[in-house]
Amino acid sequence: MRPEDIAALSVAELHERFVVRCCALSAECEAALANDPRAGARAVYQAVLRRRRENRCEGQRLRHLLRHEVKLWESGVELVAGVDEAGMAPLAGPVVAAACILPHDYRPRGIDDSKQLDAAERQRLAADIKRSAISWSVGIAEVEEIDRLNIYWAGMLSLRRAVVALPVRPEHLLVDARRLRDLDIAQQAIIHGDALSLTIAAASILAKTTRDRIMAELDAEHPGYGFARHKGYPTAEHFDALKRLGACALHRRSFAPVREALGLGPLQVELFPPPDEPPPPELRAEAPLGREG
């Protein structure tokens, strides 16, 4: 396009071309747009500049999110898996973990800790992650396992299952605030990892969207509780349903509000065991994997 063509286009056409379709602008055409006598055309120019600034900021944010991965890649470690879980706090439903290995050049716009994204954005990113990943998997700890092991160990079990289920074996794990025992894979625990590592953030999105889908499907089997809306979390709606309907098979009977609804006393559980305490048999190297999603 020549600079003189800018004046020949309507403001609507300029907006469609340079804002909606993001067509490239030469320096000469950009100057013509900036100096166009029409206010609407100059607004298009400002929108182009704004998008450029946003793209630079997003690029910087993604580079910051990849600093742990880049350090490993530069040391010769090619296959880095992020690992995270969803569903530790709910009163009902399973814990779901996910693991994924991403290509070195993967830069998904808008990726973040799954808790910072709305449902539509999580779904969009989850589909993109699955298409683009070198490998991804999920692991599930069922309600019965949560009640038998306690929520801490059940969360660890779901994380282990997700890692072992990866079709491609990772060389290194980045795990959100945990270290997985009895896995012969180098690993690094990162506090708030879902906000500090792109690969962990991707795993958190896969875990969250998988668990949300499971809870929406289970809502049909256990109507009246609102599982499709609150996903089992301790909301006012959920407490009201517990009071009206009592607990169902999806409820975690080791959790105090559920025990209260059943008329049971509190359960004294050591949630975070000492570091030297051995894990339960389910988390040892020879243990079966159970159900994966």
Structural domain ending residue among the three candidates 45, 64, 83: 64
Assess whether 188 and 235 both reside in one domain.
yes
Structural domain ending residue among the three candidates 24, 40, 64: 64
* Cβ–Cβ < 8 Å for 173, 185: yes
**Residue 292 within any structural domain of the chain:** no
pLDDT of 58-87, one tens digit each?
Answer: 767 788 899 999 999 999 999 999 999 999
Residue 286: its pLDDT value, please?
Answer: 47
Q: Each residue's pLDDT tens digit in the chain (293 positions)?
A: 788 888 889 999 888 888 888 888 888 888 888 999 999 998 988 888 788 777 666 767 788 899 999 999 999 999 999 999 999 999 999 999 999 999 999 998 888 768 888 899 999 999 999 999 999 999 999 999 999 999 999 999 999 999 999 999 999 999 998 899 889 999 999 999 988 999 999 999 999 999 999 999 999 999 999 999 999 999 999 999 999 999 999 999 999 999 998 888 877 555 566 566 677 777 765 444 433 33
State how far the Cα of 293 lies from the Cα of 288, in Å rounded to an integer.
15
State how far the Cα of 9 lies from the Cα of 167, in Å rounded to an integer.
53
**Residue 40 within any structural domain of the chain:** yes
Residue 271: its pLDDT value, please?
Answer: 57
Count other C-beta atoms under 10 Å from residue 79's C-beta: 17
Assess whether 22 and 136 both reside in one domain.
no
Mean pLDDT of the residues in the chain: 89
Residue 292: its pLDDT value, please?
Answer: 36
Residue 104 dihedral angles phi and psi, to the nearest 5° = -65, -25
Residue 291: its pLDDT value, please?
Answer: 36
Q: Which domain holds residue 58?
A: 3-64
Assess whether 20 and 92 both reside in one domain.
no
Scan for tokens 């953030």, then name that residue. 201
Assess whether 97 and 24 both reside in one domain.
no
- CA 64, distance to chain mean position in Å, is 17
The structural domain count of the chain equals 2
Assess whether 59 and 83 both reside in one domain.
no
Assess whether 51 and 169 both reside in one domain.
no
Q: Which two tokens stand for residue 109?
A: 């716009």
Residue 272: its pLDDT value, please?
Answer: 61
**Residue 162 within any structural domain of the chain:** yes
Assess whether 122 and 49 both reside in one domain.
no
Count other C-beta atoms under 10 Å from residue 151's C-beta: 21
Assess whether 129 and 247 both reside in one domain.
yes
**Residue 291 within any structural domain of the chain:** no
- CATH code of residue 256: 3.30.420.10
Residue 290: its pLDDT value, please?
Answer: 37
Residue 275: its pLDDT value, please?
Answer: 60
The residues that bridge with 141 in the sheet, in sequence order, are 95
pLDDT of 227-261, one tens digit each?
Answer: 999 999 999 999 999 999 999 999 999 999 999 98
246 SS3 class:
coil
Residue 274: its pLDDT value, please?
Answer: 57
